[in-house]
Amino acid sequence: MLFSTVVLGWIGVFLFVVIIFTFQHLLTCKEHAFLHMIMAFMYVMWLPLPFVFYQLLQSDVLFIGSVFGTAYLLLLVVTLLFQAGHIKFLQKKDRAGDVPKVFGEYMMVTLSNPFESFLGMLKGLWALFLAISFWQLGDMVMFGLMAIFGLFLFYYLCLTLNASLVKQVAFLEKVKPNRVIVNLETLVFFLILMIYLTVHM
């Protein structure tokens, strides 16, 4: 099971790299739906990771973390597929002028934030439980790395509150969603997990 998880995991990393290098071209060609579909496949490749780490580290604490990790990945795949279908629908209907612009914006807000930022919080919780498990094993390097990613929980919490509160809070408004930070953090997080699994295969 570990070998197949490593293979699938590196496929996910490869898909992420492909997205990075083809992102602008896909946007230029208006292939937004296809882009979201690739991202969904990418996260599917990482779905086994939470429970494989639970089995590998043999930590009872990590069972809870695995639940958060699985929920994060599974729900992210679901919302990406919804977004892909919605975008394709809008692109077809928009040619005929059948869909008001406000409807398209409403649906994308419904399918993105605060939903995606909330899922980022689940990933942060997963990272914290990974950090605790590595601490118990005495692996201080992985503990430190996972603790850093666990701190992103507060970043995603601010984004979630900012996207859901009607009355805005002054300090929350200063925290803006940054796709570069989010994507870089996600890539490095899964890259570290894959390197660890590959070394311990």
Q: Are 127 and 62 in contact (CB under 8 A)?
A: no
The pLDDT of residue 6 = 94
Residue 59: what pLDDT?
Answer: 87
Q: What is the pLDDT of residue 86?
A: 79
pLDDT of residue 50: 95
Q: What is the pLDDT of residue 101?
A: 66
Residue ranges for the chain with pLDDT beneath 50: none
Q: Which pLDDT does position 124 carry in this prediction?
A: 96
Which ranges in 58-169 belong to alpha helices (H)?
60-96, 101-111, 115-137, 140-164
Cis preceding linkage at 114, omega within 30? yes
What is the value of pTM for the model shown?
0.90
Q: What is the DSSP string of 67-85?
A: HHHHHHHHHHHHHHHHHHH
3-state secondary structure 35-64: HHHHHHHHHHHCCCHHHHHHHHHCCHHHHH
Per-residue pLDDT, 168: 73
